[in-house]
Amino acid sequence: GYGRTAVNYEEGRSTFVDDVLTSQNETQVSARVRLNVHATTSTDQGVDFGARLRLQWDQGDSGIDRVSPGQIYVTASGFTVAVGNVGTAFDNAGLLYASEVGLISRSFGNPMGDFYAYESKSYGANNNRLGVSVEYAVDALKARFSYVDADQTGLTDADEEISISVDYDWNDVALSAAALKDGKSIDGNDQYFLGAYYTLAGTENGVGLSYIDNGVANKPVVVDGIRTGTANVEQGKTFVLYGDYVVAPLTTISAYVANNDAAGNETDNAFGIGARYDLGGAYLAGSLERGYDENVRGDFGVRFDF
Amino acid sequence: GYGRTAVNYEEGRSTFVDDVLTSQNETQVSARVRLNVHATTSTDQGVDFGARLRLQWDQGDSGIDRVSPGQIYVTASGFTVAVGNVGTAFDNAGLLYASEVGLISRSFGNPMGDFYAYESKSYGANNNRLGVSVEYAVDALKARFSYVDADQTGLTDADEEISISVDYDWNDVALSAAALKDGKSIDGNDQYFLGAYYTLAGTENGVGLSYIDNGVANKPVVVDGIRTGTANVEQGKTFVLYGDYVVAPLTTISAYVANNDAAGNETDNAFGIGARYDLGGAYLAGSLERGYDENVRGDFGVRFDF
Amino acid sequence: GYGRTAVNYEEGRSTFVDDVLTSQNETQVSARVRLNVHATTSTDQGVDFGARLRLQWDQGDSGIDRVSPGQIYVTASGFTVAVGNVGTAFDNAGLLYASEVGLISRSFGNPMGDFYAYESKSYGANNNRLGVSVEYAVDALKARFSYVDADQTGLTDADEEISISVDYDWNDVALSAAALKDGKSIDGNDQYFLGAYYTLAGTENGVGLSYIDNGVANKPVVVDGIRTGTANVEQGKTFVLYGDYVVAPLTTISAYVANNDAAGNETDNAFGIGARYDLGGAYLAGSLERGYDENVRGDFGVRFDF
């Protein structure tokens, strides 16, 4: 797991207080403690079995309300099959989040539509959610498939989400592609991702390009500052160009430009720049970004893995 | 702890949705991740002290809502005294669950009355529950006593449950007996168990016989498909004949026939058959059973301990 | 962490049941299981990073409802800076709780006003609470500073609590002082502590003196046995004289006399005596105390650390 804390500035930060959109302090401290519990055993035939749980606390939680739902998996001959609270093929696509900057790891080039992912806290009302995932890894290839049913009991009639993704390393180029059907059990919420990243031979400098067809996301509907409900909103298509450059030993500068054509944007262009300094076992990082709503956000802090 | 997952078929499976008995999918995936946390220390005099907690997630839980209530215990000279969330003497009787088959470990020959056991999740409304248990183990003998008070504050006036059990190994025969007073704080809910298991010398094949006087269980009262409340229902007496047979290396077939004379049964006879294949560190298992309501259930899956 | 259990007698013990003050059993079993989770990493420059969580169950909890909020800290060159769920400078003052006796570690000479401390369970409604603490330790000196904001979002307008404390060892005398502003975000709830403890050279026998200006505590207002609300009540000033004496190998007797001048006291003098027998890795302890309400309480039990 890891621990991290950062000063986090978000221009125009607000939240809903009893459905009323209310301003809050733009500068707050963000923190997270994540603890992965991973219990494994191996059979005489070389098959590995494992179970995963996660404890995660974020600043703003009164405590760890719930330890995550469990996952059971089996690994043999390059195949990993998992049942329960699984990571999904789309969410795990190798380059999907590659344009992220800063300590909190954010980017306006990230996917904006709704889909399932490994759940760090609680299924919430979907307590009968069931996921199954398959991953196959061999040499430079990783292929993934996942299936998530929001309610396996059949009491509610939600669509199942199905997704696939493939990563492939070819010389100095990493390729990644993913597709998704009925994301987060929203009928017709199909999404697509294509990404490539080129690393300059003999360096850690590189440049990447991504295309995301975002599908829809369920968002609050706000009328005159009052939340009146939620609606599925088209999130448009996103193109992202990004790169990383090692400016000095242990110090990496990253930046991205993203273009998204969703209807509600104030501007279709967002960009961000970040820096990271490696302490060996921990790192300092900061970033500055400007989003599609023309607001600025930035962070600076420290993260360490354990 | 352990992890397990299985496909679980239950004919006529249903649940209450706002007190209305509602059908759900007969075939569902069952999964469990159980993690026992066990912290111990030993004094210079050779006395062992320990504390136990359990984290358990079952498919159908939105997460691990609560880590189990704690248990404190002391072990010395064969005696173990535990306070808090204790295992009870009745529930821990050596052969009480010996007729179970399949991956999920079920049997219609299991006890059907209500009584306290180690609580894997939460006391619920009985947050002031207090248990005390004593176990004495020497050579072939294990004797147990337990006491559980549903509310030690005295604010509610519930009966205390008291239970005892004894296990004894005599040549190739294992004997087990248990008795219970006021099970789960229900006045007059007394229960008795007698069991024996004979292992053929030099093999792992065996045959067992159990008798259980089940007392009562608190069950929903359903009128025209609507749950109108709960009532304490007599669970009758159960006789179980069961056996295990190693048909091939690592492969064991188990089966049982159970007879129960409770008033509400569609049939007084239930039976089950199961198979288990040892993978070394994990096992595959499956079962098929037919219950007192003439419905069939079956499972197939994998379990591993860690 | 540790485990402990004790028989706990409290004369006139009562609790609120739907706001009605109701008697409960005076003698109950008390138990606690505390598990500290502590994940750390060190950088190449010798800086230590760590994250803390706590799982704590007390008799009376239905389970561990919430794992504690997290804490992130950094240690370098004698300085420790922590963010999140931090211990506070006032609460961590070296001698603040030095007059405690018995297994449950209680004393009427403890501080009685409200202030923040490390939260073992949940922030409750103050989920946006944020703490920052700094500790500096060098040779015989420890200095601490802490800051706790009940709501960093600014949505509620609570005062921030600030506190400092200093411990210093000078030959056979330990000195400790602390000050607090706006304790537990109550405006004007300032508190002060001064303490000294003298150890007889070459022994573990000693005698201590404390002065506490307690500020206020938020207490239920009870009219004719009914709780009508809460109010901030002045807790007066407390003087405590206490001592420890090793009467036999492994056996220590401790005692205190405390004087508090708060308006609501039946008597201004309280006292307590306790004994502790070391088992090596665990200890037995018991105590008897008489409080400002002229009621007696006592405990006897066992505790072990792990």
Q: What is the pLDDT of residues C10-65, one digit of tens each?
A: 999 999 999 999 999 999 999 999 999 999 999 888 899 999 999 999 999 999 99
- Spatial contact of A32 and A305, defined as CB atoms under 8 Å apart: no
Q: Which domain holds residue A193?
A: 2-305
- DSSP, residue by residue, C109-141: TS--S------SS--TT-TT-EEEEEEEEETTE
Beta strands at B269-278 and B282-290: parallel, antiparallel or unpaired: antiparallel
Among chain A residues, the shortest Cα distance to C39 is held by A306
Residue B218 in contact with partner chain C when CB distance is under 8 A: no
- Spatial contact of B261 and B269, defined as CB atoms under 8 Å apart: no
pLDDT at B84: 97
| Chain B residues with beta carbon closer than 8 angstroms to that of A70 | 3, 31-33, 57, 64
Residue C264 inside a domain? The answer is: no
CB contact under 8 A, C84 and A5: yes
Task: Give the one of B72, B128, B152 whose C-beta lies nearest to C33's C-beta.
Answer: B72
Residue C203 inside a domain? The answer is: yes
Task: Give the one of A33, A59, A279 whose C-beta lies nearest to C51's C-beta.
Answer: A33
Does pLDDT of A118 surpass 90? yes
Beta strands at A141-149 and B141-149: parallel, antiparallel or unpaired: unpaired
Count of pairs with CB atoms under 8 A, one residue in B, one in C: 111
Q: What CA–CA distance (Å, rounded) separates C301 from B148?
A: 19
pLDDT at A182: 97
Four-residue CA torsion sign, A121, A125, A127, A132? negative
Q: How many domains does chain A have?
A: 1
pLDDT at B281: 87
Under 8 Å CB-to-CB from C1, ≥6 apart: which residues?
A: B39, B51, C33, C34, C35, C36, C54, C55, C305, C306
pLDDT along chain B (306 residues), means of 10: 96 94 95 94 90 96 96 95 97 97 97 97 94 96 97 91 97 96 96 98 95 97 94 97 96 98 95 96 96 97 95
- Spatial contact of B107 and B274, defined as CB atoms under 8 Å apart: no
Task: Give the one of C43, C122, C155 whose C-beta lies nearest to A63's C-beta.
Answer: C122
| Chain A residues with beta carbon closer than 8 angstroms to that of B280 | 43-45
Q: What CA–CA distance (Å, rounded) separates A291 from A259?
A: 10
Task: Give the one of B28, B35, B279 whose C-beta lies nearest to A153's C-beta.
Answer: B28
Residue C124 in contact with partner chain A when CB distance is under 8 A: yes
| Chain A residues with beta carbon closer than 8 angstroms to that of C72 | 3-5, 31, 33
CB atoms within 10 A of CB C54: 22
The per-residue pLDDT of chain C, averaged, comes to 96
| Chain B residues with beta carbon closer than 8 angstroms to that of A41 | 281-282, 304-306
| Chain C residues with beta carbon closer than 8 angstroms to that of A1 | 39, 51
Residue B284 in contact with partner chain A when CB distance is under 8 A: no
Distance from the Cα of A126 to chain C's closest Cα (Å) equals 20
Nearest to C40 by CA among A279, A1, A57, A104: A1
Distance from the Cα of A148 to chain C's closest Cα (Å) equals 28
Does pLDDT of A45 surpass 90? no
Among chain A residues, the shortest Cα distance to B5 is held by A72
| Chain B residues with beta carbon closer than 8 angstroms to that of C62 | 66, 69, 122-127
Residue C261 inside a domain? The answer is: no
Read off the amino acid at residue A293.
D
| Chain B residues with beta carbon closer than 8 angstroms to that of A76 | none
Question: Please, what is the end-to-end C-alpha distance for chain B in angstroms?
Answer: 6
Tens of pLDDT, residues C168-188:
999 999 999 999 999 999 999
| Chain C residues with beta carbon closer than 8 angstroms to that of B130 | 28-29, 59
pLDDT at C157: 84
Nearest to B6 by CA among A47, A86, A84, A49: A84
CB contact under 8 A, A281 and C41: yes
- Spatial contact of B215 and B114, defined as CB atoms under 8 Å apart: yes
Place of tokens 């004919």: B11
| Chain B residues with beta carbon closer than 8 angstroms to that of C64 | 53, 66-70
Residue C25 in contact with partner chain B when CB distance is under 8 A: yes
CB contact under 8 A, A66 and B67: no
Q: Give which of C55, C59, C283, C300 to mutate to test B binding, by max B Cβ within 10 Å.
A: C59
CB atoms within 10 A of CB A38: 12
Among chain B residues, the shortest Cα distance to C55 is held by B67
pLDDT at B208: 98
* Chains contacting chain B through 3 or more C-beta pairs under 8 A: A, C
Under 8 Å CB-to-CB from C299, ≥6 apart: which residues?
A: C6, C7, C8, C9, C30, C102, C103, C104, C106, C285, C286, C287
Q: How many helices (H) and strands (E) does chain C have?
A: 0, 20
Task: Give the one of B32, B35, B62 whose C-beta lies nearest to A37's C-beta.
Answer: B35
Does pLDDT of A227 surpass 90? yes
What are the structure tokens assigned to B112, written together?
Answer: 């059907």
Residue A83 in contact with partner chain B when CB distance is under 8 A: yes
Residue B29 in contact with partner chain A when CB distance is under 8 A: yes
Among chain A residues, the shortest Cα distance to B283 is held by A43
Residue A153 in contact with partner chain B when CB distance is under 8 A: yes
Read off the amino acid at residue B88.
T
User: Where is B146: in which H helix or E strand?
Assistant: strand B141-149
Residue C13 inside a domain? The answer is: no
Which CATH number characterizes residue A102's domain? Answer: 2.40.160.10
| Chain A residues with beta carbon closer than 8 angstroms to that of C84 | 5, 31, 33, 59
- DSSP, residue by residue, chain A: -EEEEEEEEETT-EEEETTEEEE--SEEEEEEEEEEEEEEEE-TTS-EEEEEEEEEEEBTBSSB--BPPPEEEEEETTEEEEEESPPPTTTT-TTTTTT-BTTTTB-TTS--S------SS--TT-TT-EEEEEEEEETTEEEEEEEEES-TTSSS-PPPEEEEEEEEEETTEEEEEEEEESGGG-TT--EEEEEEEEEPTTSS-EEEEEEEE--EEEEEEEETTEEEEEEEEE--EEEEEEEEEEEETTEEEEEEEEEE--TT-S-SEEEEEEEEEE-SSEEEEEEEEE-TTS-EEEEEEEEEE-
pLDDT at A44: 83
Distance from the Cα of C25 to chain B's closest Cα (Å) equals 5
Among chain A residues, the shortest Cα distance to C40 is held by A306
| Chain B residues with beta carbon closer than 8 angstroms to that of A152 | 25, 28-29, 59
* Chains contacting chain C through 3 or more C-beta pairs under 8 A: A, B
What are the structure tokens assigned to C282, written together?
Answer: 């665990």
Q: Which residues pair with B137 in a beta bridge?
A: B142
| Chain B residues with beta carbon closer than 8 angstroms to that of C37 | none
B 154-183 near C (Cβ less than 8 A) = 154-155
Q: What CA–CA distance (Å, rounded) separates A66 from A80?
A: 26
Q: What CA–CA distance (Å, rounded) separates A176 from A197?
A: 9
CB contact under 8 A, A1 and C39: yes
Tens of pLDDT, residues C148-159:
999 999 998 889
The HSE-up count of residue B259 (CA atoms within 13 Å, CB side) is 4
Backbone phi, then psi, for A185, in 5-degree steps?
60, 20
Range scoring the smallest mean pLDDT among A39-43, A177-181, B68-72: A39-43
Q: What CA–CA distance (Å, rounded) separates A178 from C264?
A: 70
Q: What CA–CA distance (Å, rounded) separates A184 from A186?
A: 6
Three-state DSSP at B163 gives strand
Q: What CA–CA distance (Å, rounded) separates B245 from C126?
A: 60
Q: What angle do CA A48, A53, A58 make, to 5 degrees?
A: 145
pLDDT at A293: 95
Residues in chain C with pLDDT values less than 50: none
CB contact under 8 A, B51 and C62: no
